[in-house]
Amino acid sequence: MYDGKADLPPDLRQNLLNHYLEHLSQHTDVKRDAFLQYYYAYVYVRIMQALGAYGFRGFFERKPHFLQSVPYAMKNLRWLLHNVELPIATPTLINAFEGMLASESLQKLGAELESTIVRIFSFSFHQGLPRDESGHGGGFVFDVRSLPNPGREEQFKKLTGKDAPVMEYLIQQESVYQYLANAISLVDSSLNNYQKRGFKSLMVSFGCTGGQHRSVYLAEQLAKHLQGRGGVEVVVRHLGLEKLAQ
């Protein structure tokens, strides 16, 4: 089901998994929650095996038809990163996967199968702007340092913009709501134009002081807004958080 070539919609994947588990339960006692807790770790391993095989046969043995399967594996990997949380922390591995998804060279493989890629970054201005790998000039750069900063509150200092308490704090700020609405409006307008003109890449970056709270939250919210939109693939990287995890 996740062999890299399968390009099933997420709901169909889930239905297929449920179907297998229901039939298995007719023959043995299935502890569903315990199974699912570790199942997706094996999915990650299977995708790594597939990508390794495709890369070796395609890049080193010079058999380009193997590279045609890479975009399907990348789509499955992207779905996992956005929808699955593993039972143990693997920051180095996750950062490697996110780097693969953001790689311009890998995005070009099987370009005819790819939709418009929207690469969304959060970053710290102290660490510099995200690097533009597409050569198109870097796209939108939103400076969110004017918004209320959760990092000034003791209870939020060790959290990030992906944590529920920080999200709830920012949701309650009218200025944050208005800023996000304006940013979404600008990105939607440009994306509509890009898709009509056949452009394949749009870059959107949110920067704050530490790259930990406000920029992360806004990047995640924009990604949620765009996910599921037809003809669009969303790639999210939190550069400040990647730096903290090193």
| CA–CA gap between residue 216 and residue 219 (Å, rounded) | 5
Query: Would you state the structure tokens that stand for residue 123, as one six-digit string?
Result: 């970053």
Encode pLDDT of 50-93 as tens digits: 888 888 888 788 776 677 778 878 888 888 888 888 888 889 98
128 and 97 share one domain: no
As to burial, measured by CB atoms within 10 angstroms (0-12 exposed, 13-18 middle, 19+ buried), residue 26 is exposed
pLDDT the model gives residue 64: 66
131 and 238 share one domain: yes
124 and 232 share one domain: yes
120 and 95 share one domain: no
Residue after which a domain boundary falls, among 108, 128, 148: 108
26 and 93 share one domain: yes
- What mean pLDDT is predicted for residues 163-191? 96
Structural domain contains residue 227: yes
94 and 119 share one domain: no
101 and 142 share one domain: no
85 and 135 share one domain: no
Encode pLDDT of 112-146 as tens digits: 455 788 999 999 999 999 988 777 777 999 999 99
Number of structural domains, the chain? 2
Structural domain contains residue 5: no
84 and 127 share one domain: no
* Domain with 15 in it: 10-108
Q: Angle, to 10 degrees, between the axis of helix 32-55 and the axis of helix 10-25?
A: 130
Encode pLDDT of 30-55 as tens digits: 888 888 888 888 888 998 898 888 88
Question: What confidence category does residue 206 fall into, taking pLDDT thresholds of 50, 70 and 90?
Answer: very high
Residue after which a domain boundary falls, among 67, 89, 108: 108
Check pLDDT > 50 for residue 6: no
Structural domain contains residue 2: no
Q: What is the pTM of this model?
A: 0.57
Residue after which a domain boundary falls, among 92, 108, 124: 108
66-70, 96-100, 109-113: which has the minimum mean pLDDT?
Answer: 109-113
65 and 128 share one domain: no
Check pLDDT > 70 for residue 8: no
